[in-house]
Structure formats: C-alpha cells, structure tokens
Structure 1
Amino acid sequence: MKIKTNIAIILMGILLVGCKQKTSEANATMSPETEASENSSATQITLEKLESSPSFSEASLKLMKPSEENITNENDSVAFNFDVKNYELGAQTNSNLTQMLANSDKGQHIHFIVDNDPYSAHYESNFKKELTPGTHYLVAFLSRSYHESVKNPNAFVAKKVTIGKTASNGPKVDLNTPTIIYSRPKGEYAGKDTENLLLDFYLLNTTLSEGGNYVKATINGQYFELTEWVPYIIKGLPKGEVTVKLELVDKDGNLLPGAFNSVERKVTLKE
C-alpha cells in the first residue's frame, strides 16, 4: 500500500509541475501583447487645433535697417532695426493660453530665423545679430508670449542678405516660392509644459487645403496631414527626446522644391 501511495504522490507532483509550466508559458505569450497594447495606448500622440488666440489683425512688422541686401561689415555683428506697429513687445498676451502653453515671462517678441535654423527671440525692436560671411535668408515674424506666430500679411519680413563681399556656396533659396519656416516646438520642456506642446510654422507664398498643398507632420513616427495654416497642440508625447519633422508637399504628397521645405528638429521633455 505504501508503494502505491508513494507512486500516486509522485504522479500528482508531475501533473502539478506540468500545469505550472503550461501556465507560465501561456503568461509569457500573453505578456508582450498586453505590454505592447499598453505602450501603444500610453504613447498615442494627437494633434488639436489651437483656438481663441487674440488675432492681432492690425499688427505690423517692417525691417528698417539694414535696408540693403549686401552688407559689408568689419565684423560679423549686424544691427537690425524693426518698425513694430499695433503690437506691444514685452507685454504678456491677453489670453488664458499663457497658462496652458509654455509661455515667456518676458512677453511678446519677434521670432528671428536665419536659414530656417532655430529662432532667436527678441523683445525689443532693435538688436544685433552675429552672422557669418556669406549669403543668408532671414525670416522674422511677431510672436505672442506663448510663442504662437501672428499670421497676417503685414506681420512678417522675409529677406536675403549677403554678409561681406562674397556670396556663399550654400543652398539656393527663393523666398518668393512656396516655403515653410519651422518655429515650434523648440528646445526643452519640463513639468506641466510637457502636456501641451505648440506646433507652429510660418508659410510663404502658399496656402494649405484639402486637395492642394499641405504640410506632412511626422512626430515620433506618427503621421499627420495638416490642411489648414493654424497652430496646433501636440498631446500625448512621452518624456525624453521627441522628433518633429515638417514637410511642405503638393496634393500628391510630393515634396515641393526648396531647401527649407523639409526640416526635422528634436526637442526634450523632462519630468
């Protein structure tokens, strides 16, 4: 009897071990799928149109100096003088969006962009800028304190300048053809500023529409077709490095000619 009992105990032990192994294998198969589903939900990026900003339809920006296209300097520092009307530099924009988006405590300003590189912000109409010798393409526009561009035809400047006596061999850009200029997002974000990122750009010589030219935005690998020239809010971004790519394309999705019409930037989101 003892032998039969021992055999029964051994057989039950083997069955229990087998059941545990099958249960473990089943969990190993299901776990990656569940984790992928959770990660997909957690990193779903969305775009929403930003609305209710003050329009500043009467604001204007005009470049007074330098007035010439060729600038000969003994050094690389160039003095810029803008005429700003119906817009107060240094003031906080009167909008509750100052609490929702990353906002400059220095107020409204000029986004000054050289060769479609990241902008520098200027809170006064007169400033100096270091420019290397050669040909450069300047785009400047008025910005709200939370960095949204003022999109009216009198609120921007686009100009080609050559510093020194010799033009550079850099990219040839025609600022009179359809062109996209990248603005936001930019740099680093922390805390609540990571929840809503402003996606904003400036367009020259084109409109966007369904069935016409549009902007293809790629954000961490997710694609969006932007058929309206409006600011957008990016939501659902993970912490860490974020890649944003903007392309100005025709109705068939072909990149429009122009050295600036495809641009990619990286920004960082911190806790």
Structure 2
Amino acid sequence: MKKHTTTLLSSLVLIAFTVTSCKENTSSVNEASPESEKPAEVVAKKITISKLENSPAYSDAVLKIESPSAENIKTGETDFNFKVENYELGAQTDSPNVQLLANSGKGQHIHFILNNEPYSAHYESAFAKALPEGTHHLVAFLSRSYHESVKNENSVVVKKLVVGDSPENETGVNVEEPTLIYSRPKGTYSGKDTENLLLDFFVLNTKLSESGNKVRATINGEQFEITEWAPQVIRGLPMGEVTIMLELIDSKGNVLDGPFNKVTRTVVLKE
C-alpha cells in the first residue's frame, strides 16, 4: 500500500512540474515577441496617372499679343501687352478641380514660357519683363486657376523674339515643327496638394494618338504613354524630390527632333 502511495505522489509531482514548465515556456515566447513589437508592414505606393475631368472647356477663349509687335526688341525691360477675349484673368475657375489640385488664390492667369523654361504666371494682361540678349522663343497660353492650360488654337501665342543687336544664343528651334512645351508640375507642393499633381503640357503642330505621335512621361523611373492631348493627375508620389521627364515621341518610340521635345524637371513634395 505504501509503495502505491509513493508512486502516485511521484506521478502527481511529475505532472505538476510538466504543466508549470509549459506555462513558463509559453510565457517566455509571448514576452519575446509581443504583437506590438512586430515590424510594421511597409506598402510602397504605386505611381499612377489618370485623365483630369470636369474642367470648363473655354473653347472660345482667345489670347493675342499686341506688343511687342516687332520680332527685334532692345535690351532691358520690355513691355508685354496681351489681349484676352472670352476669358477672365484673376477669376477662380468654376470647377471641383479647384479643391482637387494646387490652386492659385489669385485666379486664372497667363503662363509665359520662354525657351521651354519654367513659366512665370501673370494675372494681368500687361506687364514688363527683362529678357536676356539673344534669340528666344515665347509660348504663352491661358491657364485655369489650378494651372491647367486652355487648349485651343486661339488660346496660345507663339512668337520669336530677338533681343539686342547681335544675339548669339540661337536656340535652333523651328516652331513650325511638332513641339512639346512643358507646363506642370512645377515647384514645391505641401500637405494636401501632394496627393494629386497636375501633369500638363502644350503641343504645337501635331496631334497625339495611339498610332501616331505621343507624349512619354517618365516619373521617378516609371514610364507612361499619353496618347491624347489632355491633362493628367499624378497620384502615389513619395515625399521628397520627384523627377518628371516628358518626351514627344513618334509611333516607334523615337523622340522627335527639336530641342524642346525632351525636358526634365524636378519638383519637391513635403509634409
């Protein structure tokens, strides 16, 4: 009887030890890798572009240049005077895109682009600018308050300007040929404006199509083909520097001749 009692006690001690050991091991595992200490999953954003909708067409809007009327102008400040018809400079564009995109509080304006460099915005039809000596190619067009260009044959001015007596920096541009003019994005974006960036450009002397000429956009290394002359919205961009390259290409993917038909810009996105 004593032998059986001893055996039973030994068995109970062994079971108790095993259960205690299991509990200790389980506790140790849980303490070593609590749920809160698991590394957070990082999901990379995907860069996308999509056609911008819901903009008023302004199909009858007109932009003309009244001065300077001559091609040759003197060095120093030059008075520019434009005539605007069926379009109101300084007004806020009546569109939900005012809330979607970076929008100018000063309203609708003129994008003034010299030699396909970053534009200057002008909210009145008359202003003065000092141009460097040489040969320049001006492209100016009407812009909505959120910087989308008005795209019709009468909303743009294309003019060659020769500044000074002996210009030396001839650009070699033939604006009678297919030409790409970069417009947006531009500058620095912050806060909500980083979510949707307007990609916009002007094309001269060509139509874009799936089987013909196109614009190839390379955004942080990601390539997109644009087969319609229409504004696009870029989404999924990371904070920091963003590089955008636009190229006017033929049906085989070759960049068309012309110094303006391949352009690279950098913009900055910050919290």
Normalized against structure 1, the TM-score is what? 0.84
Shift of 1:52: 1.1
Question: Alignment partner of 1:192: what SS?
Answer: helix
Shift of 1:129: 1.0
- Please tell me the root mean square deviation across aligned C-alpha atoms, in Å: 1.6
Larger radius of gyration: 2
The match for 2:138 is: 138
The match for 1:89 is: 89
Could you give the per-residue CA deviations for residues 154-184 of structure 1, whole angstroms, max 9, x where no partner exists?
0000111100111223421011110000000
1:48 to 39, 47, 50: 50
Matched, 1:203 2:222: no
Matched, 1:220 2:182: no
Could you give the per-residue CA deviations for residues 183-223 of structure 1, whole angstroms, max 9, x where no partner exists?
00000000000000000000000010011000110000000
Shift of 1:66: 0.4
The match for 1:59 is: 61
Could you give the per-residue CA deviations for residues 46-80 of structure 1, whole angstroms, max 9, x where no partner exists?
0010011000011000000001111124xx21110
The match for 1:111 is: 111
Question: Alignment partner of 1:225: what SS?
Answer: strand
Question: Alignment partner of 1:83: what SS?
Answer: strand
The match for 2:267 is: 267
Question: Alignment partner of 1:177: what SS?
Answer: coil
Q: Tell me, which stretches of 5 or more residues in structure 2 are unaligned?
A: 1-38
Inter-partner Cα distance in structure 2 for 1:243 and 1:252: 24
Inter-partner Cα distance in structure 1 for 2:178 and 2:114: 17
Could you give the per-residue CA deviations for residues 121-155 of structure 1, whole angstroms, max 9, x where no partner exists?
00000001121011011000000000000001000
Determine what percentage of the aligned residue pairs are the same residue.
63
Could you give the per-residue CA deviations for residues 207-262 of structure 1, whole angstroms, max 9, x where no partner exists?
10011000110000000011000000000000000000000010000110000000
The match for 1:180 is: 180
Inter-partner Cα distance in structure 1 for 2:140 and 2:233: 22
Once the two structures are superposed, the pairs formed by residues 30-49 of structure 1 within 5 Å of their partners are: 38=42, 41-49=43-51
**164-173 or 101-110, which moves further after superposition?**
164-173
Inter-partner Cα distance in structure 1 for 2:129 and 2:249: 32
Question: Alignment partner of 1:90: what SS?
Answer: coil
The match for 1:162 is: 162
Inter-partner Cα distance in structure 2 for 1:137 and 1:268: 27
The match for 1:233 is: 233
Question: Alignment partner of 2:192: what SS?
Answer: helix
Normalized against structure 2, the TM-score is what? 0.84
Inter-partner Cα distance in structure 1 for 2:170 and 2:72: 16
Count residues in correspondence.
235
Inter-partner Cα distance in structure 2 for 1:249 and 1:84: 32
Shift of 1:85: 0.3
The match for 1:244 is: 244
The match for 2:13 is: none
